[in-house]
Amino acid sequence: MLNQINGLHHVTSLASSARANNAFFTDALGLRRVKKTVNFDNPNVYHLYYGDETGTPGTVMTYFPFPHAKRGQKGTGEVGRTAFSVPEGSLAAWADRLATLGATGLGQDTRFGEHRLLFDGPDGDSFALVETADDSRNPWTEGGVSDQMAIRGFHSADMRLADAGATGELLRYMGYEETDKQDAVTRYHVRGGNEANVIDIETLPETPAHQGAGSVHHIAFSVDNRARQLEVREALIDSGHAVTPVIDRDYFWAIYFRAPGGVLFEVATNEPGFNTDEDTAHLGSALKLPSQHAHLREKLEKTLDPID
Ligand code: ZN
């Protein structure tokens, strides 16, 4: 069993409108946009990152907004819901806030004793806010959401799979422990990691999801540094997974592999972080391009939709 994984690093999803996506995460949810860059593999599309003040791993929701992308179709083989941690007693205020802002899919339930507010993002993305008693993370409060209710970071990601067995086994290999089970949902925790340390696997009859706007593209797990990432890469390859080489994403190094249930996994380093090319006070304000796409700046500044 590996011991390098800290929990989630980021979750990356698809959207249909950069402007609507930016407004939802910064205005409605009050997160900070910590980076405005492009998809390194397709620089005609933005890559937008939202999180806490500095984009601490475990707080960062990211998007590839493809203009006018068709909505995804929910099903098995994907992350079906992404959950954020909020303070105890804040759900009623969140329910009011999101209802006032016209959010859809609002509902409340309890999972493993924790109260959840369910809601949809602008492309029908499934989210939850989960009341968490002892989350010590500092929220970003300059986005118009008070400290009493502001999002602390991720609580968990909820994978929906037709067959939970092999992916559960992979999570245990990666250092997660099965800690609870309720109906069709099994909860996994990584101990001693960051506070975005929960994965739920929900088992459902097979109805394969089709990726589109509102779908999660991949989930990334955090490791401290490149040395630990190489240890994880080697161990995953030894256990039969097809893992990419290490890829430089400017703000972290990344490796990717497909989990047996169909979800794309990434392992990303906490180094160097988002203030490597802008200072903390100005994170997310300027369009940042990686060196390989710097020559496209003039064109991209004309073709990318303005979002502010
Ligand atoms: Zn990623």
**24: buried, middle or exposed (CB in 10 Å: 19+, 13-18, 0-12)?**
buried
Confidence band for 84, pLDDT divided at 50, 70 and 90: very high
Helices (H), 143-222: 165-173
pLDDT tens for residues 208-266?
Answer: 999 999 999 999 999 999 999 999 999 999 999 999 999 999 999 999 999 999 999 99
- Between the CA of 219 and the centroid of ligand 1 the distance, in Å, is 7
> Which class is 8-303 in CATH?
alpha beta
Confidence band for 167, pLDDT divided at 50, 70 and 90: very high
% residues pLDDT > 90 (the chain): 99
- Between the CA of 264 and the centroid of ligand 1 the distance, in Å, is 10
- Between the CA of 161 and the centroid of ligand 1 the distance, in Å, is 21
pLDDT value for 78: 98
pLDDT value for 188: 98
**287 φ/ψ angles, rounded to the nearest 5 degrees:** -75, 115
Q: For residues 290 and 37, is the Cβ–Cβ distance under 8 A? A: yes
Confidence band for 168, pLDDT divided at 50, 70 and 90: very high
Q: Strand ranges (DSSP E) for 75-192?
A: 78-87, 107-111, 114-120, 126-132, 153-161, 177-182, 185-189
- Between the CA of 24 and the centroid of ligand 1 the distance, in Å, is 20
- Between the CA of 136 and the centroid of ligand 1 the distance, in Å, is 25
- Between the CA of 207 and the centroid of ligand 1 the distance, in Å, is 25
**290: buried, middle or exposed (CB in 10 Å: 19+, 13-18, 0-12)?**
middle
Q: Determine the average pLDDT of the residues in 3-25.
A: 98
pLDDT value for 22: 98
Whole-angstrom distance, CA of residue 105 vs CA of residue 118: 7
Whole-angstrom distance, CA of residue 238 vs CA of residue 233: 9
* DSSP symbol at 106: -
- Between the CA of 43 and the centroid of ligand 1 the distance, in Å, is 15
- Between the CA of 220 and the centroid of ligand 1 the distance, in Å, is 6
- Between the CA of 191 and the centroid of ligand 1 the distance, in Å, is 23
> What are the boundaries of each domain within the chain?
8-303
What pTM was estimated for this model as a whole? 0.98
- Between the CA of 147 and the centroid of ligand 1 the distance, in Å, is 28
- Between the CA of 266 and the centroid of ligand 1 the distance, in Å, is 6
pLDDT value for 148: 97
- Between the CA of 254 and the centroid of ligand 1 the distance, in Å, is 7
Instruction: Give the chain's mean pLDDT.
Output: 97
pLDDT value for 47: 98
